Amino acid sequence: MNPLKFMESRLGRFSPKYRKLVLRTYVVTLRLVLTVAFPNMVAGIFYAIIGNREKQYVSFLKGSKTWGTAVIKMTKTDLMIKNEMQIPERGHMIFLNHVNEIDFPYDCLVVNKPYLANQVIKKTLVAYWWMKAMGSQVFETSKAATIAVSVRNLIKGLSTTSYIVYPEGHNSYSEIIQPMQKGMIKLAYENKIPVVVVLKSGITTYQTEPMFAKVAYKFIGRYEPWTYASWESFRDFLYETMSKEKIALDSEIGTVREPVSSKSK
C-alpha cells in the first residue's frame, strides 16, 4: 500500500495537523539517513558486510537516537527523564505503553533498544529498514509455524540484547493504559524472561497540538514473571502497576488523560 494512503486509512479520524506531523516525523528519517545519521549507517553497513552483527546493531542504534532529537527540535518539545533509565543490556523485555505514531522516535532516543514489532511496521519503509538493521524483530503471528520461528529468534536474540515490547498490542491514542494482550506476557512467563517497565506521558498532546508538548519518561521497575502463580496473575499485576504509575506520572507533569483526538467540526 502507498504510505500516504496507509496513513490516511489509519489516521483519517484525526485532525489535518496531526496527520501532517506524522508525515513530517517519518519523512525526516530520509534527511537524517543522508546527514547526521549517515556515519552510523555507513559504519553499520560495514559491520554487516564483515558479519559483526553486534557492532552493526550498536551503530544503527546510535543513529536511531538522532530521530528522537530531530522530532524534539521540530516540535519544540520539552522532554523530561524523571529518573535513571536502568535499561538492561541483554536478556530482558522492556514493556512500554504504546500511544501513537510519534512515540517511536522518543523510544529510540530514551530507551534505545531494538523492538519486537508486529507486521504493520513493514509499511513504514525507511523506518522499517533501519529498525531491522538495528536488531529489531518482526514477530510474525500469521501461522503457528511462524510464531514458533519468531519465539526461537527472540530467545536467541535475548542472549545479546533486550527488546522493546508494547504489551497493549496496539496504538492506544490515549494516556490511559489499555488491557494487556496475552502474547508477550505469556511468552515472558513461560520462558522465564524478566520484564522491565518504562512509562511515557504526554504523547497524546500531539493529536491536538503539534508544537510545545511536554513529554516525560519514567523507569518503573524490574519484574520476574515466573514468580507469579500464572501468566494471568502476572498480567493483572502488570496492568495494575502500569495504570497506577501512569496516573502518578500524568499528574506529575500535568498531562490531560482524556484528550480530544478527532477532527474539529
Q: Write a three-state SS string for 74-99.
A: HHCCEEEECCCCCCCCCCCEEEECCC
pLDDT tens digits, 143-193: 565 677 778 888 888 999 999 999 998 889 999 999 998 889 999 999 999
Residue 62: the pLDDT is 95
Question: In the chain, where does DSSP find H-type helix?
Answer: 3-11, 16-34, 38-49, 53-75, 103-110, 126-133, 144-157, 182-190, 231-253
Q: Tell me the percentage of the chain whose pLDDT exceeds 70.
A: 86
Give the mean pLDDT of 47-73.
Answer: 94
Nearest to 83 by CA among 204, 243, 224, 196: 196
pLDDT greater than 50 at residue 109: yes
Residues 162, 126: contact at Cβ < 8 Å? no
Residue 198 main-chain phi, psi, to 5 deg: -125, 140
Residue 151: the pLDDT is 81
- The three-point CA angle 127-197-209 to 5° equals 55
pLDDT greater than 70 at residue 137: yes
User: How far out from the chain centre does Cα 102 lie?
Assistant: 9
Residue 126 main-chain phi, psi, to 5 deg: -60, -45
pLDDT greater than 70 at residue 215: yes
Per-position DSSP letters for 181-218, written without gaps between them: PHHHHHHHHHTT--EEEEEEE-GGGGGT--SS-EEEEE
The residue behind cell 527488546 is 163
Residues 172, 211: contact at Cβ < 8 Å? no
Residue 252: the pLDDT is 95
Residue 122: pLDDT band (50, 70, 90) is low
